[in-house]
Structure 1
Amino acid sequence: MRLAFMGSPDFAVPALRALVDVGHQVVMVYAQPPRPAGRGQKETPCPVHRAALDLGLPVRTPARVRKDEAEHAAFAALDLDAAVVAAYGLILPQAMLDAPRHGCLNIHASLLPRWRGAAPIHSAILAGDTESGVTIMKMEAGLDTGPMYLRDTVPIGPRMTTPELHDALAPMGARLMLRVLAEWPQAMPQPEDGVTYAAKLTKADARLDWSQPADVLDRRIRALNPWPGTVATLAGEPLRILAAEPADGAGAPGLVLADGPIVACGQGALRLTRLQRAGRAAMPAADFLRGSPMPVGSILG
């Protein structure tokens, strides 16, 4: 089929490569514009952009498309059978949704209608869901409201992190999209009940609130690393909490109860297992404590 591909992060790369591998004609790739990255803040293409260049595919990187009629016309001129969209990051206007003969098909990393929106993988872990999955849907003007072609599930283990769930869902999305383009199953409306929304994450979400229960904070640490991360303060300085696990203990929220370190929460306690000070390397808690002691009785903010 004659396709455009629209995506930006690592999640979308397996789908792009799969489409090319099976012989679909990807005539244009759309990706987010290059952005400053690294210590030198050098303009860096996103993962999909880099993959497209590696595959020898043309790339467009408009900063916005909703009201850009020139972009709408350029998209229509591609004469597409369909557009495949995977975490593109820009909202497509109706003119672009309607341009391909079979419309725009989205790879969404949740079991719709649960976790419509920007951060479905993180949200599933934050909420303590026991399963997640991928839904292939036909895009329409509403936020992830379109009819569904196919979906599949994956269990969320009790210690699963966002990167681990991401790595399970990305190839699943590629496989499901290939099936849809080969079989064109009938699209079914989404159920009206069970709708939830996955809000876009910001740096403000990184702050840990020790008054919350230990199981909630445990999920938060697993869900929000590597970005935006989870941060506490120790003696007024920021401390990144990269990994932790529930532990026995009780005390005032944020109080270091025992070596490990074990920190009291609103209910229960957490053993912090991987830590990082600002400007320093991440390291296991035992190594961290040798250089930065955290005595019993210390308070984490």
Structure 2
Amino acid sequence: MRIAFMGTPDFAVATLDALVEAGHDIAAVYTQPPRRAGRGKALQPTPVHLRAEALGLDVRHPLTLRGADEQAAFAALALDVAVVAAYGLILPVPVLEAPRRGCLNVHGSLLPRWRGAAPVQRAILAGDDETGVGIMQMEKGLDTGPVRLEGRVRVDHKTAGALTGELAALGAKLMVRVLAHPDDFAAIPQPTDGITYAAKIEKAEARIDFAQDAAQVERHIRAFNPAPGAFFEHGGERIQILAASIETADGRPGEVTDDMLCIACGSGTIRPLLVKRAGRGAMPTPDLLRGFAIPKGTILA
């Protein structure tokens, strides 16, 4: 098929690679514009931008698709279908309707649960046992379109990073299956019950609330790994916890209950296993404590 691919983060790269490997004609790749990042604040192309350039594909990064000129340029591609994966821009109706078979989206949840921007993190935070990825026929509403095919995975004790990678690989395979035989996969309307929304992750959410029970705190840590990183503050520094186990001990919420950084929660305790100081790499907790004492009895926030 003649396809426009529309995606931005690492999650989308697997689908782009799968489309190329399957032999589809990628007429253009749309992605978010480069953003300033890093210490030097240099412009950084998106992961999809970098991969598309490496593949020798035409890359476009408009700020919006609402303008008549951009919509005309998109329509001029004469597409069979547009494939969308975490693009990050709203597709206006003229864009949705331009391809002969419309626009198909790789969405990282079992719709209608977790419509919206951060389905993987919200599934972990909510303690869902299972999540998945669906191939959705896009329409005007936010993730409201009918689903053509979906796959399921266990959440288990995965981080957001690990779960995102698993869903990305599965979504790529499902998209290739649907495109190979599109008429074999009927568009099934989403149920009208069980709708939840996965709001965009705000950096302020990453601060750990030790008043929550230990199971919630541990999920919080996994949901924000690798970004933005669940953290507490001590000694004027922000310390991220990247992995932790759940234990039982008595103490006030936020109290360090031993000399190896076991931290009391609203109920139960957590023991950080992997941590990170600002500007440094991840390290086991004993390595942190050798150069950054957090004694028993300290109250963390």
Q: TM-score, normalised by structure 1?
A: 0.97
Whichever residue aligns with residue 252 of structure 2, its letter is A
CA distance in 1, matches of 2:163, 2:211: 27
Determine the structure 1 residue equivalent to 2:90: 91
CA distance in 2, matches of 1:141, 1:274: 43
Q: CA deviation digits over 1:105-134, x for unaligned, max 9?
A: 000011111110000111111111111111
CA distance in 1, matches of 2:203, 2:76: 39
CA distance in 2, matches of 1:281, 1:179: 40
Is 1:172 equivalent to 2:146 in the alignment?
no
Whichever residue aligns with residue 229 of structure 1, its letter is G
Determine the structure 1 residue equivalent to 2:72: 73
Give the secondary structure class of the aligned counterpart of 1:26.
Answer: strand
Tell me how far 1:275 sits from its aligned partner.
Answer: 1.9
Q: Which region of structure 1 is more displaced relative to structure 2, 126-135 or 277-286?
A: 277-286
Is 1:36 equivalent to 2:16 in the alignment?
no
Q: 1:14-163 counterparts in 2 under 5 A?
A: 14-65=14-65, 67-157=66-156, 159-163=157-161
Determine the structure 2 residue equivalent to 1:226: 226
CA distance in 2, matches of 1:281, 1:16: 30
Aligned length: 299
Tell me how far 1:276 sits from its aligned partner.
Answer: 2.2
Q: CA deviation digits over 1:149-177, x for unaligned, max 9?
A: 000101111x2111111111111111100
Determine the structure 2 residue equivalent to 1:215: 215
Contact 1:260 1:273 in 2 (8 A): no
Determine the structure 2 residue equivalent to 1:181: 179
Determine the structure 2 residue equivalent to 1:9: 9
CA distance in 2, matches of 1:282, 1:180: 40
Tell me how far 1:227 sits from its aligned partner.
Answer: 1.1
Whichever residue aligns with residue 202 of structure 2, its letter is T
Q: Which region of structure 1 is more displaced relative to structure 2, 111-120 or 274-283?
A: 274-283
Q: Which region of structure 1 is more displaced relative to structure 2, 167-176 or 35-44?
A: 35-44
Whichever residue aligns with residue 188 of structure 2, its letter is M
Runs of 5+ in structure 1 lacking a partner?
none
Tell me how far 1:229 sits from its aligned partner.
Answer: 1.0
Q: CA deviation digits over 1:268-298, x for unaligned, max 9?
A: 1100112222233331101111111111101
Give the secondary structure class of the aligned counterpart of 1:179.
Answer: helix
Tell me how far 1:231 sits from its aligned partner.
Answer: 1.4
CA distance in 2, matches of 1:105, 1:176: 11
Contact 1:214 1:246 in 2 (8 A): yes
CA distance in 1, matches of 2:280, 2:161: 22
Give the secondary structure class of the aligned counterpart of 2:16.
Answer: helix
Whichever residue aligns with residue 64 of structure 1, its letter is T
CA distance in 1, matches of 2:22, 2:203: 39
Alignment RMSD, CA only? 1.0
Tell me how far 1:236 sits from its aligned partner.
Answer: 4.1
Q: CA deviation digits over 1:37-69, x for unaligned, max 9?
A: 22222211111111111111101001122x211
Determine the structure 2 residue equivalent to 1:194: 194
Is 1:268 equivalent to 2:268 in the alignment?
yes
% identical equivalent positions: 56
CA distance in 1, matches of 2:146, 2:111: 10
CA distance in 2, matches of 1:21, 1:128: 36
CA distance in 2, matches of 1:173, 1:278: 34
Whichever residue aligns with residue 175 of structure 2, its letter is M
CA distance in 1, matches of 2:6, 2:161: 22
Contact 1:214 1:265 in 2 (8 A): yes
Residues 280, 17 of structure 1: alpha-carbon distance in 2 compared, 3 angstrom cutoff: closer
Q: Which region of structure 1 is more displaced relative to structure 2, 31-40 or 134-143?
A: 31-40
Determine the structure 2 residue equivalent to 1:204: 204
Whichever residue aligns with residue 111 of structure 1, its letter is L
Q: Which region of structure 1 is more displaced relative to structure 2, 19-28 or 234-243?
A: 234-243
Give every structure 1 segment of 4 or more consecutive aligned residues whose post-TM-superposition deviation is greater than 6 Å. none
